[in-house]
Structure 1
Amino acid sequence: MKLKWKILIAILLLTGGAVLLFTEEIKIKIIHILGAAENYKVEGDPNAMQPRFNDADIQREKILVNLAQIASGFTQPVDIQFSPVEKDTALIAEKTGALKWVNFRSKAMGTLAKINVITNAEEGLLGVAFHPAYATNGKIYLNYVANENGKDVSRVSEWIVSKPANLAEATLGDERILMRVVQPYANHNAGQLAFGPDGMLYIGWGDGGFKDDPKGHGQNPLTFLGSMLRISVEPDVNGKPYPIPKDNPHVGDTRYAPETWAIGFRNPWRYSFDPKGRLIVADVGQDLYEEIDIVEKGGNYGWNRREGFHCFEPKENCETKGLLDPVYEYGRKEGQSLTGGYVYTGAEISALKNKYVFADFVSGRIWAIDLPENAQTKVTKVFTLGRWPVLISSFGRDAAGNVYAADFGSGKIFRLVAK
């Protein structure tokens, strides 16, 4: 018997079959739990790590690469972040709550900490970031979902690594919670954390779920959900967990939460900064389109009025005044869930140099684009790296500019290398 039917039977038994009497919100939550119980499956043979070029990609210019397996043994990896002080060593965040370290050269690996998380649907341990001064202060930051008094709450917290230069012998402690966000549903939690070149912490939140943004968070500038936030991580002199940068775009405007950097996102699952210091956000779509945005200070990226370049609510003649366009979108013929990546700055794959690499979690396709100079210029040329039998949940980039990919299904970590 499939897991979702076991859950349904349990619900019927507990409620005496009274599912039809539930509120619409509870029905939505039940349907979501049932849908999330299915396991994701790769397309193709995972034992044959070769790219396929078909469908839409067959007409595109190819960049030939291999995915070289460099580590395995992880459970549902969702983030790869390299230590600023230990060469070839990275932290791997597992959705199920473990924060592990791995040295890709020696193949040694271990567990730095096990975080108590809830893992319904898209919840769990979702992101990790090193403080810009990690070498001296040992601070890292985690984004995870916990149960607080029966509510699903996303936490962004600061932790201290006891031995910053030796993760193999380090412990993690002294948690300081910076931010709590109540999640109305178990999806669209986003979860990435990233420090910008300005030293500020950027926190991307999804709209909170379920579908269609029923709470209207995407276009509500007073909520954290559906927004990109920007904060300082230094303790506030007034006793607050963090200060708000004075140059945030809406400081002093009571119509916005002062932490807000940009709004109008559905689920900015992964994002990064390009070599020019620009914030590149991959926003997961709903019905038809996935989009990539070069996020500008104070921008509104449209959800849920728009999905990609297209009207979403209403389907035609939606209000677009004040909305900024993505630089690229793709539709359902090519994939269903966008995983953002990094600009490749390594030396090994010359054809990939200075291109932004991204993928689709469901279809296994990997692409690359040249990011435009202007954040509002539409990308028209896309390079294909092929379709692979992997579920790419996250990318990583080391100090040399090499790009890595995590396979959510197999628990393997790959490095993109020249073919």
Structure 2
Amino acid sequence: MVSVIRQLSCLVLGACVLWLSACGGGGGDSNSAGSPGNPVTPGAPGTGTLALTVSGLPTGTLANVSVTGPDGFARAVTATTTLTGLAAGTYTIASDNVLNGTSLYSAAQPSQTASVGGATSPAVTVTYGAPQTFRLALTAVASGLTAPIFLAAPANDPRLFVVERAGRIRVIPNSTPPATPLATPFLDISALTTTDGERGLLSMAFDPDYAINGRFFVYYTATDGAITVARYQVSTGNPNVAAATGTVLLSIPHPGATNHNGGQLAFGPDGMLYLATGDGGGANDPAGNAQNTASLLGKVLRLDVRGGSYAIPPDNPFAGGAGGRAEIWASGLRNPWRFSFDTTGLLYIADVGEGAREEVNVMPATAAGLNYGWDRTEGTTCVGAATCDTTGLTPPAFEYSHAGGGCAILGGYVYRGSAVPELQGRYFYTDLCTGGLQSFAYRDGVVTESVDWALPIPGTVFSFGTDAARELYILSNGQVLRVQRGT
């Protein structure tokens, strides 16, 4: 198969930025009552009832209603229901906006009250009116960066840390535009990496206890091409500068091809460090790394980095050493450039395809030992054959073909910020070749509301990022852009 080399872009100064795609050489967020995002507080037991009717929404669209009352009672309601066993007292019914695709529905009465008593069983109707078109916009937070390729922030910290591909991490003091990056890099390891092909400093992750221990981790390709994970420490005298010397925890040989390095590392909800590696490069995984559990390439790895080096979590699928490398958490990936964890406990992996399909794998973060199929399958299609053996393979939750002009998925995050609450639970991504902002919702194991926001992103997108408040950012052509409500 003759594959097509695709570059992300070339900077104005002529330095080539990351290659991601098919280079031949190159959760459910259920909004139902009692779901992870909508806990139920029962309150004191009683005998009262409250009939709640929801109208005005399209069939299958979940309402966004909260009911609060005596003794700490709180419940989220997404459809017509009757609440029973209520204590006597006054209950408040708050109805927030509902987004279905790009249609925004607002309740005629955003807030109502009802009195429940021994002989009183009130009925309340929440009526949503005709929808308005909901739009998004991008605000430039900062500019003047050189090949920004990742953005992160420690918990409860107003700063933004931007990874520049050449080997530097820059600090933006706050997210209020126009913000200016500090002149002195937080970290500069440009002497340790190279930017040929898809190589460079590709991402970073702050230790969950960063405020206490000052540790953070970086993912880069060494000058010999080896995928490298190293730990660094913030300096004792300046919170905006890290100690210059780090400790290499893991080095994975990546000889030959300069592409398919993966690039993401992140801490999971279990406190373990996860990283996603590419298959080693070349068309159709010529070395067979993705399906080889003796290789760390084409995998998601899971490490315990709480000690001086790294340890193997005992519940890793090959922790005993039999059947594969003990670091492996999942296999069968081609070039998982970006992955992310949602607050619901789901793991989203956007895996760049070869020549036909792009995919997002969505599974519980606790699901160990999954095989996502590459290079036996690309998305849900067989590689090089009409049919193939898919036994033991986990299909993607979402995929799209290159027929619509796409060529390489750039995965992002599920929105969990507060600035645009209507976006809660939607996973955002873009594509290298189409360049627009897109999203979908994953609820109860099903992808719904796939939306193209008709919001062209200036330049070429390199990555997404989130701040400490879980607001969503896009990195493009030297800029940090924040996703926000449009007009």
Over 6 Å off, 4+ runs? none
Deviations 1:299-324 (A, max 9, x none): 00000000111111x32111100000
> What secondary structure does 1:173 align onto?
coil
The answer (yes or no) to whether the contact 2:156–2:468 under 8 Å persists in 1 is no
TM-score by length of 1: 0.80
The residue number in structure 1 matching 2:347 is 279
Please state if 1:397 is matched with 2:428: no
Give the Cα–Cα distance (whole angstroms) in 1 for the partners of residues 427 and 101 of structure 2: 15
Deviation at 1:83, TM superposition (A): 2.6
Please state if 1:99 is matched with 2:158: no
The residue number in structure 1 matching 2:389 is 319
Give the Cα–Cα distance (whole angstroms) in 2 for the partners of residues 178 and 160 of structure 1: 14
Which of the pair is proportionally richer in strand? 2
The residue number in structure 2 matching 1:176 is 247
The answer (yes or no) to whether the contact 1:264–1:303 under 8 Å persists in 2 is yes
The residue number in structure 2 matching 1:74 is 145
Q: 1:289 to 1:61 in 2, by over 3 A?
A: same
- Give the aligned CA root-mean-square deviation in angstroms: 2.3
The residue number in structure 1 matching 2:478 is 411
Please state if 1:154 is matched with 2:227: yes
Give the Cα–Cα distance (whole angstroms) in 1 for the partners of residues 181 and 10 of structure 2: 27
Deviation at 1:164, TM superposition (A): 9.1
The answer (yes or no) to whether the contact 1:309–1:325 under 8 Å persists in 2 is yes
The residue number in structure 2 matching 1:347 is 418
The residue number in structure 2 matching 1:46 is none
Deviation at 1:367, TM superposition (A): 1.1
Deviation at 1:173, TM superposition (A): 3.0
Matched positions, count: 355
Give the Cα–Cα distance (whole angstroms) in 1 for the partners of residues 146 and 9 of structure 2: 17
The residue number in structure 2 matching 1:309 is 380
Give the Cα–Cα distance (whole angstroms) in 2 for the partners of residues 179 and 159 of structure 1: 13
The residue number in structure 1 matching 2:17 is none
Deviations 1:85-104 (A, max 9, x none): 431x1111111111111122
Give the Cα–Cα distance (whole angstroms) in 2 for the partners of residues 165 and 334 of structure 1: 47
Q: 1:331 to 1:40 in 2, by over 3 A?
A: farther
Once the two structures are superposed, the pairs formed by residues 134-213 of structure 1 within 5 Å of their partners are: 134-147=210-223, 151-163=224-236, 166-167=239-240, 170-184=241-255, 185-213=257-285
Deviation at 1:334, TM superposition (A): 4.1
Give the Cα–Cα distance (whole angstroms) in 1 for the partners of residues 303 and 155 of structure 2: 21
State the AA in 1 paired with 2:187.
Answer: A
The residue number in structure 2 matching 1:381 is 449
Deviations 1:342-368 (A, max 9, x none): 111223324312211111123212111
The answer (yes or no) to whether the contact 1:352–1:368 under 8 Å persists in 2 is no
Please state if 1:219 is matched with 2:291: yes
State the AA in 2 paired with 1:373.
Answer: D
Aligned mate of 1:297, from 362, 368, 375 = 368
Larger radius of gyration: 2
The residue number in structure 1 matching 2:110 is none
Give the Cα–Cα distance (whole angstroms) in 2 for the partners of residues 189 and 371 of structure 1: 28
Once the two structures are superposed, the pairs formed by residues 51-70 of structure 1 within 5 Å of their partners are: 61-62=101-102, 63-70=134-141
The answer (yes or no) to whether the contact 1:72–1:412 under 8 Å persists in 2 is yes
> What secondary structure does 1:70 align onto?
strand
Give the Cα–Cα distance (whole angstroms) in 1 for the partners of residues 288 and 196 of structure 2: 22
Q: 1:198 to 1:235 in 2, by over 3 A?
A: same
State the AA in 1 paired with 2:160.
Answer: A
Deviation at 1:212, TM superposition (A): 1.0
Once the two structures are superposed, the pairs formed by residues 351-370 of structure 1 within 5 Å of their partners are: 351-370=422-441
Deviation at 1:251, TM superposition (A): 1.6
The answer (yes or no) to whether the contact 2:8–2:462 under 8 Å persists in 1 is no
The residue number in structure 1 matching 2:130 is none
Give the Cα–Cα distance (whole angstroms) in 1 for the partners of residues 438 and 8 of structure 2: 29
Aligned mate of 1:114, from 188, 210, 220 = 188
The answer (yes or no) to whether the contact 2:8–2:432 under 8 Å persists in 1 is no
Deviations 1:361-386 (A, max 9, x none): 23212111112333xx4x25301222
TM-score by length of 2: 0.69
> What secondary structure does 2:211 align onto?
helix
State the AA in 1 paired with 2:406.
Answer: G
State the AA in 2 paired with 1:249.
Answer: P
The residue number in structure 2 matching 1:39 is 10
Q: 1:233 to 1:345 in 2, by over 3 A?
A: same
Deviations 1:198-229 (A, max 9, x none): 11000100101022101001111111000000
Deviation at 1:118, TM superposition (A): 0.7
The answer (yes or no) to whether the contact 1:270–1:339 under 8 Å persists in 2 is yes
Identical columns (%)? 35
> What secondary structure does 1:342 align onto?
strand
Deviation at 1:172, TM superposition (A): 2.6
Which of the pair is proportionally richer in helix? 1
> What secondary structure does 1:381 align onto?
strand
Please state if 1:127 is matched with 2:203: yes
Q: Which runs of 5+ in 1 are unaligned?
A: 1-27, 42-59
The answer (yes or no) to whether the contact 1:85–1:164 under 8 Å persists in 2 is no
State the AA in 2 paired with 1:98.
Answer: R
The residue number in structure 1 matching 2:29 is none
The residue number in structure 2 matching 1:268 is 336
Q: 1:365 to 1:164 in 2, by over 3 A?
A: farther
Deviation at 1:108, TM superposition (A): 3.5
> What secondary structure does 1:172 align onto?
coil
